[in-house]
């Protein structure tokens, strides 16, 4: 079951328009406190910049939303960035767009377009994901099955992480909770029942969907 959409990881992007340099940083942020800490860190890193425009959306229902123009004309930067985040259906995400003014004014419409484009580049770098309730299945199996299981993972049946190599291979197979039994059956069939399921738990996990244009 999908819980929400967010960014897959941290992202960074840069572009220049009319000699103004825009640097975007994006990060997952589970709470407003995490978002504010991320924003404060970027502002400190780029404290010599003309503007550091922040925004965040947090909460499974996107109930925590905030943005600031940070000295840009009202409504030209923070709100366009926030609208992009909510328009993409993203939550638990924080973003800061740093601007070094290049000497040429962009106008209110130009500023809104520039900040929106900068935000989209940052989100593209981070990637968009679904956060879903997931099964984490810890297996051990013989080496002869590794390549076949990796092929199944590449086909999108599940994701396989945490590989450890000893006398056998250990791995954690991750899949949406609703696919748990189907994946367990597939692993059993592929290994003729020889894969050992050592443990299974549940947790919210990220699944990369796309990069936006």
- Torsion angle (degrees, nearest 10) of CA 33, 37, 40, 41: -170
What CA–CA distance (Å, rounded) separates 23 from 99? 7
Please give the pLDDT value at position 3. 87
Task: Look at residue 210 in the predicted model and tell me its pLDDT.
Answer: 57
Phi, psi of 111 (to 5 degrees): -65, -45
Of 199, 204, 209, 210, the residue nearest 162 (C-alpha): 199
CATH of 2-126, one of 3.90.1300.10, 3.40.50.300, 3.30.230.30, 3.40.50.150: 3.30.230.30
Alpha carbon 183 to its chain's center: 25
Q: CATH 3.30.70.240 spans which residues of the chain?
A: 132-210
- Report residue 110 as tokens: 């130009």
The whole model's pTM is what?
0.84
Copy the structure tokens of residue 61.
């229902």
Task: Give the CATH architecture of domain 132-210.
Answer: 2-Layer Sandwich (3.30)
Q: Could you tell me the two tokens for 70?
A: 């940070």
10-residue mean pLDDT series, the chain (213 residues):
90 97 98 98 98 97 97 97 97 98 95 98 96 97 97 93 97 96 97 97 88 45
């Amino acid at each position: 079951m999908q819980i929400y959409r967010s960014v897959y990881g941290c992202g960074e992007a840069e572009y220049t328009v009319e000699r103004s340099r825009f640097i975007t940083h994006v990060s997952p942020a589970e709470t407003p406190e995490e978002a504010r800490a991320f924003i404060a860190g970027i502002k400190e890193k780029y404290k010599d910049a003309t503007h550091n425009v922040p925004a965040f959306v947090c909460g499974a229902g996107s109930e925590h939303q905030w943005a600031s123009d940070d000295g840009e004309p009202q409504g030209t930067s923070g709100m366009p960035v926030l609208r992009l985040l909510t328009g993409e259906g993203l939550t638990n995400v924080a973003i800061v767009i740093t601007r070094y003014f290049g000497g040429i004014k962009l106008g209110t419409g130009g500023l809104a377009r520039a900040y929106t484009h900068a935000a989209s580049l940052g989100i593209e770098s981070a990637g968009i994901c679904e956060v879903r309730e997931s099964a984490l299945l810890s297996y051990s199996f013989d080496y002869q099955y590794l390549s076949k299981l990796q092929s199944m993972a590449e086909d999108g049946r599940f994701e396989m992480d945490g590989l450890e190599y000893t006398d056998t291979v250990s791995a954690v197979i991750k899949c949406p909770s609703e696919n748990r039994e189907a994946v367990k059956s597939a692993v059993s069939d592929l290994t003729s029942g020889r894969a050992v399921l050592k443990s299974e738990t549940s947790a919210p996990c990220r699944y990369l969907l796309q990069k936006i244009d």
